[in-house]
Amino acid sequence: MYKNWNDIVNDFPTIPYLFVGSGLTKRYYNLPSWGDLLKHFIKIISDDEFAYQYYLDKCGQKFEAVGTLLEKDFNEKWFNTPSIRSTAPDVAKSVREGVSPFKAEVSEYIKQQSLLQEKYSEEIGL
């Protein structure tokens, strides 16, 4: 006998999590993949064409580790180089409240770049 979805979830010992990869946001919002997002922020702090490869090699090709190392480097550069800072008021406000400049800038970037792709509006509605 088949259970419905609610019965299956109710039987879980913990709250279920749904992991959605970057493919969903790439398709519907034209946002970058994890790698492309990291490349974008690396280019803000370095004009070296091999900087992205350096981070990948140093971190064993793991995006999470690249993000951690990049955040440290980005924050240092952000605090010491006002010209790389976003002019968005939300970024400055967040940093004043203790948010990492990297996280504040990534958040603002995603907010600014998130444009629903109209060609998928019917699909999204379903």
Six-digit token string for 59: 């971190």
- Angle separating helix axes 101-113 and 34-45, nearest 10 degrees: 120
Q: What percent of the chain has pLDDT over 90?
A: 62
pLDDT digits (tens, 9 = 90+) for 37-57: 999 999 999 999 999 999 999
Short-list 107, 101, 57, 110, CA closest to 81: 101
pLDDT digits (tens, 9 = 90+) for 83-96: 999 999 999 999 99
Low-confidence ranges of the chain (pLDDT < 50): none
Model pTM score: 0.77
